[in-house]
Amino acid sequence: MEKAYQELEKMRAEKQSEEAKEKTRVSLSDPESRVMREGNGGFDPCFNAQIVTDAENKIIVGVSLTQDCNDIHQLENALFEIDRNTGKTPAEMVVDSGYISADNITKMSGMGIDLYGPMPDNKSKAKRKSEIAPEFYSEKFTYDPATNSFTCPAGKSLRYKSQYDAGQYTYYAYLASKSDCRQCPFKAQCCPKAKTEGRTVTRKQILPEVEAFNKKMSTLESKTIYKQRSAVAEFPNLWIKEKLKLRRFRVRGLVKATLELTWAALTYNLQQWIRLSGGKLSPELS
């Protein structure tokens, strides 16, 4: 119970709102686990197992266990495990959509690692603000690259204000003069809720690393490389689940469960070693 309370406080500290903190729950049977969605669509206390496999010999070169239900943050840790176990950094990595983000693409590019995976979703999820009239939507504003500014449908200028990175894009924000908007006869249609500032519009520009990644992944060669991922990455997971029956950990706690996963990976690697040696062990081991 004491351990469960400690984990509960830790999880609540990660939440932003009081409502989210109140809804936070922790497992009493294994407080270090986290509730995650399973393959059957249900939710259970789980750990997130990460297995990294060498494509050439099908050997597991890295394993780790995390409380994070999202794979997006696990790519750097995978590199750490590979380096710790092999002393090398891979020249190429093939991952599924769970690891693809602008941040990961940029980091891998900076490290000189050729990353392969599905292209990020380019569909905009932005919703129209109902209070803005269609004739004053952002796309009705004209951008001038020479002055790095926008002109609104009423002829007023919006100057560059700031920029930030989000998803696979860099967003540039432009702000109109407060006095221009206050005196504008179209204020009610354009920015009715702007009280202290003028109208703001943004333009987005895809990050160069993401653009290069998308261009690479649109080629037949890259698509062929990505198709190899399933046979390399999914087989060890399936083998461990079916041969060793490790669909649920037999122990509790992050450390013990990590040890169980490590032993399972070692067992898998021994089987692969026998396969690679032609089914014959060395005299010292026979």
Per-residue pLDDT of the chain (286 residues; tens, 9 = 90+): 888 888 888 888 888 788 888 888 888 888 888 888 887 778 888 899 999 999 999 999 999 999 998 898 899 999 999 999 999 999 999 999 889 888 899 999 999 999 999 876 655 444 445 678 999 998 999 999 999 999 999 999 999 999 887 767 888 999 999 999 989 999 999 988 877 889 999 998 888 899 999 999 999 999 999 999 999 999 999 999 999 999 889 999 999 999 999 999 999 999 999 988 886 655 555 4
Residue 192's beta-bridge partner residues? none
Q: What are phi and psi of 21, to 5 degrees?
A: -65, -40
Architecture in CATH for domain 32-119+218-276: 2-Layer Sandwich (3.30)
The per-residue pLDDT for 280 is 65
Domain ranges of the chain: 1-25, 32-119+218-276, 134-207
Count of all residues that appear for the chain in the document: 286
Question: 18: Cβ–Cβ under 8 A, 6 or more apart, which residues?
Answer: none
- Cα separation, 49 vs 263, in Å, equals 13
With a threshold of 0.75, does the pTM exceed it? no
Nearest CA to 54 out of 177, 197, 231 is that of 231
Crossing angle for the helix pair 102-110 and 208-217, to the nearest 10 degrees: 90
pLDDT of res. 33: 86
The DSSP 8-state label assigned to residue 206 in this structure reads E
pLDDT given for residue 15 in this prediction? 81
CA–CA separation, 114 vs 105, rounded Å? 9
Q: What is the pLDDT of residue 124?
A: 47
Rounded alpha-carbon distances, angstroms, from residue 159 to 118, 137, 139, 156, 162: 37, 17, 16, 10, 10
